[in-house]
Structure 1
Amino acid sequence: MLSFEQKIEIFASFPELERKDVSMGRVNFHYEGSAFDKKLIGFHLHPNGNGFAFAGRLQDVDTDDRGYVNIRDYGAEELRELIARSIHSLTREKAPEPEEGLVETWEDPNKSTLTLKFEDDMWYVFAGMNLDGAFETYEEAREYLIDEGFAKR
């Protein structure tokens, strides 16, 4: 188990995170660059070694109902990877320049695929030949695909 100081050091090594000291000696780390309402990546890191990290947008991490995972027994590399993935999951990907006929393939953990296409000033999600959804912006389509468990290939 990492000490409180080691956990603080790992979180602090990410320049995009801002440390905020809270009550009872606990520390939070905020990601102000988040593209979503969620900004709290490190939650209630406590001198007793307990603490939580946000993983609510990561499909392969078991979280509580608020999207946090207890990091009490995480090792250094495991914690670094979790923080990096969490930050990435909250970072809005720059939308590609809309160009008629632009196509992206998205895949879920079961290897099912959906296709995202830009046509007629709209973003369309297709499951094979069937229309699954239509969105006005790339960001809306991307968020929908991520929420459904898909990642861009």
Structure 2
Amino acid sequence: MKNLNKYVSAYQDQLKKGDILIAYNELVKFVMKLRTEFIKTLSDQYSFAGVLHGYMDYTYFYYSNDFLKTKKLKFGLVLNHLEMRFDVWLLGNTKPIQEKYWKLSKNTKWNKDKDEMPEYAILETTLVENPDFNDLDKLAERIEVQMIKSSDEILNYIRTLN
């Protein structure tokens, strides 16, 4: 690794320009707004945890229902900052749970191109690539529709495992 002071200096220079700081704050606020809206519209289907900011790489929140909780699983709605896309991740509460469900889902459409379990999730599916942040209402609607569709599909798959 380069001298950490050089990285910190470059980071500070970018923050002083202001664009990164504004973009990051607005992205986090948007994810927080999504969570708030989903609590209003989807609380009959899911419970929602707080927004986690990650390390400028991911901003996400967990959501779950009674069925997932009995399996020690949960979903995450994830804004992947590096790829600038929205994903749904299926996660286990513990590493052994993740490994168990990874083995069960290795050959599904979500993991068919992967040789190894994703770093943080059992499976990942993209909801929106290249989001248009100039129309946040339309983007939020698109994310919600895709989130429900993907979550239902994953839930239906998990139910077949029993």
Q: TM-score, normalised by structure 1?
A: 0.39
Structure with the largest fraction of helix: 2
Higher Rg: 1
Structure with the largest fraction of strand: 1
Q: TM-score, normalised by structure 2?
A: 0.37
